[in-house]
Structure 1
Amino acid sequence: MLRAQICSNRDLSFLMEAHDALSGAIAKRAGFKGLWASGLAIASSLGYRDANEASWSQLVDVVERIVDSTELPVLVDGDGGFGNFNNARLLARKLRQRGAAGVALEDSCFPKMNSFIGDRHPLADIDEFSGRLRAVKDTVAEDLVLVARIEALIAGHGMDEALVRASAYAAAGADAILIHSRKSTADEILSFASSWQNHRPVVIVPTKYYRTPVSSYRDAGISTVIWANHSMRAATAAMRHVCGRIIAEEGVASIEPAIATLEEIFELLRYDELARAEERYLDPG
């Protein structure tokens, strides 16, 4: 259960990125107990940029497939809610209907831009974004874990602003605070955790400060680490390599030993269950 992982678990928990049903199934097979439906990864898999080019309806369709294929709790990257409070609560209601376990909303302006692109990252007004959070909480209550993502450090507004926003968002009903940074070290993340003192659980995304040992997060009392885009990036690198080899060699003989067999795909997606079901339902005699 996502709430137990983020809000009640005394040990550090991990969420793995999934951008479709297959990547979700692979993460589950690897042993992950929860998933992050990444806005960047889903947009990329659909051929869009992470700038609200993919619609909220496309997002919830993908989330439904991830939930169905894995039966794992899924925390959804809801960007800023795709608009004002009304768009945010509509998104939350639809995610609940599709089986999501939680939604993370960031205090960015619509349309958002990926946090690691450029330097223009205007922040939403604190009161306005708090209204978005209250609207979501009033709509889904305890059915979805509500994570408030703070972009103040990304936008260069400093630690004091991040802490002010965290307090406001907690008061608005956020179950956890996601503090984001694009520094190559975890210094400002750990500083935030030290100052915040776990008034709400802290969630982090160490995409840029990946060299920091996980023990530092445990020592800081951080609740959850999200590996936010690694399956999508791994798949991109692998497909690029294989496609390049095939076009250069005009064949696949040297590729076959290095890629998944069809039998592995069939096993991962439980073709054996379909065969057993056919025996039961198509020829019950």
Structure 2
Amino acid sequence: MNQTVFIGRPLGPLDNPTKMLRDLVCSGKLSFLMEAHDGLSAAIVKQAGFKGLWASGLSISSALGYRDANEASWTEVVDAVERMVDASGLPILVDGESGFGNFNNARLLATKLLQHGAAGVCLEDKAFPKRNSFVGNRHPLVDIDEFSGRLRAVKDTTGNDLVLVARIEALIAGYGLDEALRRADAYADAGADAILIHSRKTDADEIMAFAKEWQKLPIVIVPTKYYRTPVSAYRDAGISTVIWANHAMRAAVAGMRAVCARIAAEESVAGVEPEVATLEDVFGLLRYDELASAEDRYLPKHL
């Protein structure tokens, strides 16, 4: 049973995070998942009103000081996801990279993510180790049958307790629409619940062409590069879910860089104090008030 108990916080157990995520992805209404990479960012995403999270491989790797090239281990990813589950109380779709190896690594990853509160995992059809889709031109894909085996292994291991999204990198690797469609058919047959089609172009033309040709399963997209496309176009194309994939991490980088540079130059924090979150804001975000109430309930009065 996929439930998460939030120790010491009043968020309560998620009734069924997998169902919540499945309802978002399969509702027939365009939904949005916002990136988070640690407990703090997950709590902020929750506060902003999003209904689900994307645990970004790029962002988790960056927060850990690694490159998005499978330098972070799957255990580090699972640990980060657990913190995000605890801090947000939202269903989380996890960027499972290419499964961190073969079918056995993929099903182990999925099992551990399920045990730690994740609602879904997204696997991409690249060879291991993979690199970020927007870096360089070397993006070898695995054989369709081999990747389909990874998907079947995850599905056989987790059943319907975990939403399984198959991510197609054929457009990233330069193979074109026909190959993307061929892979989508195979991955649907292998048990995927949804298809993520990815593109590095600055317009959404090839994404829209895919959506026009293929609607067998919900379609998920990541408009990091084609961000100028209006959301209405995705609705008209029957897209299921949009992932804002790395913007919390990038905002954090820009904000921290600006504040640190100013403090270094001014040798003072007086100038930046009005521009950063107050300590009270941080305390409220992470529910320090609940801790105070718990102390009143559980600690002897004389302590």
State the distance in 2 between where 1:14 and 1:56 align: 25
- Structure 2 counterparts to residues 1-285 of structure 1, below 5 A: 1-7=20-26, 9-196=27-214, 198-283=215-300
Q: Which amino acid aligns with 2:253?
A: T
State the distance in 2 between where 1:94 and 1:248 align: 46
State the distance in 1 between where 2:168 and 2:50 align: 25
Q: How much has 1:283 moved relative to structure 2?
A: 3.8
Provide structure 1 residue ranges, at least 5 long, that are not aligned to the other structure: none
Q: Which amino acid aligns with 1:115?
A: S
State the distance in 2 between where 1:10 and 1:162 align: 22
State the distance in 1 between where 2:153 and 2:208 align: 30
SS in 2 for 1:226: strand
SS in 2 for 1:127: helix
State the distance in 2 between where 1:175 and 1:63 align: 21
Q: How much has 1:284 moved relative to structure 2?
A: 7.2
Q: Which amino acid aligns with 1:21?
A: G
Q: Which amino acid aligns with 1:15?
A: L
State the distance in 1 between where 2:110 and 2:34 align: 21
Q: How much has 1:138 moved relative to structure 2?
A: 0.2
After TM superposition, the score normalised by the length of structure 2 is: 0.92
Supply the RMSD in Å over aligned alpha carbons: 0.9
Determine what percentage of the aligned residue pairs are the same residue. 75
Q: What is the aligned length? A: 283
State the distance in 2 between where 1:219 and 1:211 align: 16
Provide structure 2 residue ranges, at least 5 long, that are not aligned to the other structure: 1-19
State the distance in 2 between where 1:110 and 1:140 align: 22
State the distance in 2 between where 1:142 and 1:11 align: 21
After TM superposition, the score normalised by the length of structure 1 is: 0.98
SS in 2 for 1:141: helix
State the distance in 1 between where 2:40 and 2:100 align: 26
